[in-house]
Chain A
Amino acid sequence: MNLFKAELRRIARRRLSLIFGIIAAAGVLVLAGVFWFTSSKGPTAEALEEAQAEADRMNEENYEYEACIEDEAYLEGPDYEWVEDDPYYDGLSHEEACAELFGVWTAEDLIWTYTFDFAEESPLLLIGVAIVAGLVMMMLASSAIGAEWSSGGMANLLLWHPNRMRVWGTKLGAAAAVCAAAVLALMLLAFGLLYLAASVRGDVSGVDAGWWDENLPKFARAAVLSVGMTVLGASLAMLGRHTAISGGIIAGYLIVGDMLVRIAAMALQMPFSERLSLYTWVTAWVDGKTELYDWTDLYAETADVMVITASEAGLLLGGIVLGFAVLATWAFQRRDVS
């Protein structure tokens, strides 16, 4: 327990934790700020009137439209005979047909308003916050362990605590606990700020029991994903004994490795090649389910469908994390420390 507390304090006292903490909080603040400033509950009457006047003025300059409006028989002229036969124009009044043909400006075209719909848009944002927070915590965890190896602090710690399994378990536990706390805090902060922005300048309707039922599991799974990433980062740092190795492997795989695997799968004409991409599984895990379509059979009426459920994705991703954690445990137990 003492070791766990000391480990928490060690993470908390690192400068990187402070920097990442500030950056993450600032990021959430900026995100909420963007919605605060772009969202509004629709245009004011005054702005609408002004825009209508401007639209009218612009329509006056649109001579063809004016001519069409003024002349009821305009569309029966030789140039526009086809309009009568075109089903698209069926049932349109003369004015509407003119507007379709020559274009017309309306007040809405000239005034742009955006209303932030909290119920609709916040789930994706909150999941994004959780995943980005997870990435940040993954870097923090791998640097906490990597730096301890490369600085030589690990050898020193083992002189005090020779039971390596206990040291590793404690470190992993501390990293996961800090990650979970940080992700939760950031999600709460993001939720609070976005809700505030939406209630003042947007729309918060629809956040009801049904909304929670639908989204809470997604949020929880995103948070679990973040903790999983932290464990993965810590395990890789333990294996590579260096921060850069851990970060490099993860970034390298997500950016290059994933793409190479998919290209290889496509070259082999493998059906459902997206299933080799980690992103597919991550999406399935967070969203609850992902459907992949296979169009390789060009004569088929409908595509083959492959459904990946959250539990399948959870098994795969959990297996990957667990695999690396076990590997790191084994390596730490066996390898010399010098």
Chain B
Amino acid sequence: MPPIIEISGLRKTYSRAFRQPHNALDGLDLEVAAGQVHGFLGPNGSGKTTTLRALLGLIRVDGGTMRIFGEEVPQRLPDVVARIGAVVESPQFFKHFSGRLTLQLLAESAGVSKTRVEEVLEQVGLRDAAKASVKGYSLGMRQRLAVAQALLKQPQLLILDEPANGLDPAGIHHMRELLQWLAHSQGVTVVVSSHLLSEVQQLCDSMTIVSRGRRIVDGSVADIIAGHGDSSLTVRFPDAASLPEAAEALTAASGSLDAAKAAVTASVDRDRLVVRGAPEASWVTKTLADAGIYLSELRTETKNLESVFLELTGTAPVPGQTVQIGESAVVPAAPAEVAVGDVTIEVESEGAER
């Protein structure tokens, strides 16, 4: 099945007075397969919203091609738009209309039935608030109205830019179930951009991470975490004095390992030893036991999306310093193919400054 969304080499440059033009999108690629919940991640200002706006014909781009349902957009957008529901960045509505009227007008304009308006209001939990004017809506209520607006046409492709923004825990939970139900039982393809990584980890099947207008990585969520998770082991000893000795033993033993494997590194971190690149936890225990050192605790650090994200985007916090907007990782334009497990993932590894 061809991808539902295909973007390649997308460019968007904003010219700025008296300064160098700014490349908001710098050759971005994106592919979204059918029937999946696809996460679209990246630091602030990395170009997520810009990509979605371009995809939906709100802004012009300076290069690259985009296809939705195999149709070239924005040229053919009018033909496919009836199948696309979208929310782009904190949606705003005319303040003096009620939520219901806002939806009714949109429904009327596109020939969607009135009963559908009531259905979506119910679905997003706005049934009782629908007659109040939007002016009196809270952030989360506006967000719900926006999602209702996107669901109104019963889309086959749902594009949501930070849908969880402002939602309460129950709302987030409900949204997750709704999106998964849409994707997995209704066959709707869902693209969500989000900064809530735990949410993405629970919700999404696949994802794309971007930084500075370029794709860093894409693939299934599980594979990306497995492939990039900082798979480290933390080792403790009854006596802290044995730390350097143990580190030495591990580094020495790693020389006898398969050359194809990455080198094992062992570094002392206060009263612990952090081991990276070890083939197995048992290899560590055995090596240390052979050297006559006995450990008191060995823990596998769980991998999560947050650490992967921070590592890949180069936005991991440094004590006493704030990562500024636009300081995230830069990747070279040509992607390098790296095999991870049995899935091929394009990894555009962290590059130096251009």
Contact = CB atoms under 8 A, between A and B. Distances in A.
Interface of A: 2-3, 5-7, 9-10, 13-15, 147-148, 151-153, 155-163, 334, 336-338
Contacts of B109: 2-3, 5-7, 157, 160-161
A148 B149 CA distance: 16
Contacts of A156: 91-93, 106, 149
A114 B291 CA distance: 122
A10 B104 CA distance: 10
Nearest to B107: A6
B78 A155 contact: no
Nearest to B78: A163
B105 interface: yes
Contacts of A153: 92-94
Contacts of B92: 151-153, 155-156
29 contacts: A2-B111, A3-B109, A3-B110, A5-B109, A6-B106, A6-B108, A7-B109, A13-B101, A151-B93, A151-B94, A151-B95, A152-B93, A153-B92, A153-B94, A155-B88, A156-B93, A156-B106, A158-B57, A158-B58, A159-B84, A160-B81, A162-B56, A162-B78, A162-B81, A163-B78, A336-B53, A336-B59, A337-B53, A337-B59
Interface string B42-69: 0000000000010011111000000000
Interface in B264-296: none
Interface string B83-123: 01010100111111100010001101111000000000000
Interface of B: 53, 56-60, 74, 77-78, 81, 84, 86, 88, 91-97, 101, 105-106, 108-111, 149, 153
Contacts of A161: 78, 81, 109-110
A338 B59 contact: yes
Nearest to B77: A162
Contact of A160 (B88, B93, B96, B110): B110
Contacts of B110: 2-3, 160-161
A144 to B, nearest CB: 10
Nearest to B90: A152
**Residue with the greatest number of chain B CB neighbours at <10 A, chosen from A15, A152, A160, A161:** A160
A300 B268 CA distance: 107
Q: Chain A's interface: helix, strand, loop or mixed, by majority? A: helix
Contacts of A148: 94
Given A162-B74, A163-B78, A337-B59, A2 B95 contact: no
A31 B84 CA distance: 53
Contacts of A6: 105-106, 108-109
B95 A334 contact: no
A334 B60 contact: yes
Given A6-B105, A13-B97, 13 more contacts: A9-B105, A9-B108, A148-B94, A153-B93, A155-B92, A156-B91, A158-B57, A159-B88, A160-B81, A160-B110, A160-B153, A162-B78, A338-B58
Contacts of A10: 105
A14 B98 CA distance: 11
- Pairs A-B, 8 closest by C-beta atoms: A152-B92, A6-B109, A336-B59, A6-B108, A162-B77, A337-B58, A162-B57, A3-B109
A153 B111 CA distance: 19
A143 to B, nearest CB: 11
A33 B352 CA distance: 81
B177 to A, nearest CB: 24
Contacts of B60: 334, 336
A15 B135 CA distance: 14
